[in-house]
Amino acid sequence: MSDAVVLDREDVLADKRSLFSLPSNTVYLDGNSLGALPTACKQAAQAVVEHQWGDDLITSWNKHQWIDLPSRVGDKIGRLIGAKAGQVVCCDTISTNLFKVLSAAIKMSPERKTIATTKDNFPTDIYMAEGLLSLLGDEYRIQFIDENDVASQLHDDIAVLMLTQVNFRSGRKQDITAVTAAAHEKGILTLWDLAHSAGAFAVHLDEANADFAVGCTYKYLNGGPGSPAFVYVAERHQARYQQPLSGWMGHSTPFAFSHEYTPHDSVKRNLCGTPGVIGMQVLDAALSVFDNTDMALIEDKSAKLQAYFLAKLEAHGLAESFTLASPAAAERGSQLAFSHPEAYAICQAWIDKGVIADFRAPDILRVGFAPLYLRFADIEHAVNELALIVNNKTYLRSQYQVVNDVT
């Protein structure tokens, strides 16, 4: 009996895999880019399109409580990131939500003019901050700080510290509690991008005394391609929080069609336009895979899957040629990054063998671990295939050398 079989037998989350519809003959190590399909989403998509929209039409806003969807789904996400009810709302995209929070946060400390972030933050976060600055004027600036030592670089002109908890390339994970405490000591508000955190491991926003967070739902939350994002605003900030994308759905009484904008007395003031109901109902169904579990168990399984992957790599003699570009276990999220000069071609050859991972420029092979649907046997198979590709040098074939992937 292989060690993978033993580990799968001992896995307390093993039953969760049956809640997903996974393609056969595939090991999916890209759940950190687009999560797999929870089977419940099929029925949910059909129900919202055929029954709610088709049969009940406009009356569904009441009958099927579409109007409450952003809060209902938001609270479900909140439970997975350590936020008690009433602090998370589901809406728009992570980029748009980041713009809202950043705008609101920077106005809360009017004497401070700096947004601090890391150079290797996910690019869209920086682009959005730059877009905001183009409106705010010349006295505002972005300062790039070293992601390896955030606390020591904080100073009194920083209004907002905007960090992605897990680096999208390396998988390096920031300690929300420690960094938030260091920021607060300097009077700095924190904005956490949880794109690679939510659903992957335990996050404790309330406990960490975090101020704001945003996240997407199409990675470890398995909400589907381009599923709607979320925003967290700590309760203590909500009354003072004013965001500029003040669309009608964030109004206290949107259907009064009032001339005056009066923001909703809650985190719902982050809502802007009409919510994407179809995508949000599908996401709502997707979140059901997290019922009756605990993020600590998911985090634990992720650590074991990663350790097992590394052990197998070592056993195949591949640990030297694939340089681990991720930090140690305690300091990384639910992914492993390896630098290899032929990373792109190897990734393509691996995909052809049914093992889906992804490549990140310039030379990173990125392996994501989605604990709810990955088995240890999948990891064993994936590394076996990798060893064959490397040992037989199949990745040198010309079709793997052409860079044409958009993702």
The one-letter amino acid code at 361 reads A
Q: Is 395 a catalytic residue?
A: no
Residue 92 Cβ vs its own copies, minimum distance, rounded to whole Å: 7
Q: Please identify, among the stretches 7-15, 79-87, 223-231, 341-349, the one whose residues bind its own copies according to the rule CB under 8 A.
A: 223-231
Residues 6-35 that bind its own copies (CB under 8 A): 21, 23, 26, 28, 30, 33-34
Q: Which of 366, 375, 378, 395 is catalytic?
A: 366
Contacts of 286 (CB under 8 A, 6+ apart): 35, 38, 40, 41, 217, 221, 222, 223, 224, 227
Q: Is 193 a catalytic residue?
A: yes
Tokens 């088995």 sit on residue: 375
Taking the C-alpha atoms of residue 169 and residue 180, their distance in angstroms, rounded to an integer, is 23
Binding status of residue 187 toward its own copies by CB under 8 A = no
**Given the complex with its own copies, which of 67 and 318 has the nearer CB atom?**
67
Taking the C-alpha atoms of residue 198 and residue 220, their distance in angstroms, rounded to an integer, is 6
Q: Which of 30, 125, 193, 211 is catalytic?
A: 193
Q: Is 373 a catalytic residue?
A: no
Residue 27 Cβ vs its own copies, minimum distance, rounded to whole Å: 11
Q: Please identify, among the stretches 2-10, 46-54, 185-193, 383-391, the one whose residues bind its own copies according to the rule CB under 8 A.
A: 46-54
Tokens 């985190």 sit on residue: 267
Of the candidate residues 113, 251, 264, 375, the single one contacting its own copies (CB under 8 A)? 251
Q: Which of 20, 168, 201, 218 is catalytic?
A: 218
Q: Please identify, among the stretches 175-183, 203-211, 240-248, 333-341, the one whose residues bind its own copies according to the rule CB under 8 A.
A: 240-248
Q: In 3D, which of 220, 393, 253, 51 has the Cα closest to residue 59?
A: 51
Q: Is 232 a catalytic residue?
A: no
Binding status of residue 54 toward its own copies by CB under 8 A = yes
- CA end-to-end span of the chain, whole Å? 37
Q: Is 219 a catalytic residue?
A: yes
Taking the C-alpha atoms of residue 293 and residue 296, their distance in angstroms, rounded to an integer, is 9
Contacts of 323 (CB under 8 A, 6+ apart): 338, 339, 340
Taking the C-alpha atoms of residue 222 and residue 283, their distance in angstroms, rounded to an integer, is 7
Q: Please identify, among the stretches 55-63, 145-153, 184-192, 329-337, the one whose residues bind its own copies according to the rule CB under 8 A.
A: 55-63
Residues 329-368 that bind its own copies (CB under 8 A): 351, 356, 358, 360-361
Residue 209 Cβ vs its own copies, minimum distance, rounded to whole Å: 28
Residues 252-291 that bind its own copies (CB under 8 A): 254-259, 261, 272-280, 282
DSSP string, 204-245: -TTTTT--EEEE-SSSTT---TT---EEEE-GGGGGG---S-
Q: For residue 362, what are the CA distances in angstroms to 33, 318, 358, 396? A: 17, 20, 12, 18
Residue 211 Cβ vs its own copies, minimum distance, rounded to whole Å: 20
Residues 287-326 that bind its own copies (CB under 8 A): none
Residue 1 Cβ vs its own copies, minimum distance, rounded to whole Å: 30
Q: Would you name the residues annotated as active-site residues? A: 122, 193, 218-219, 366
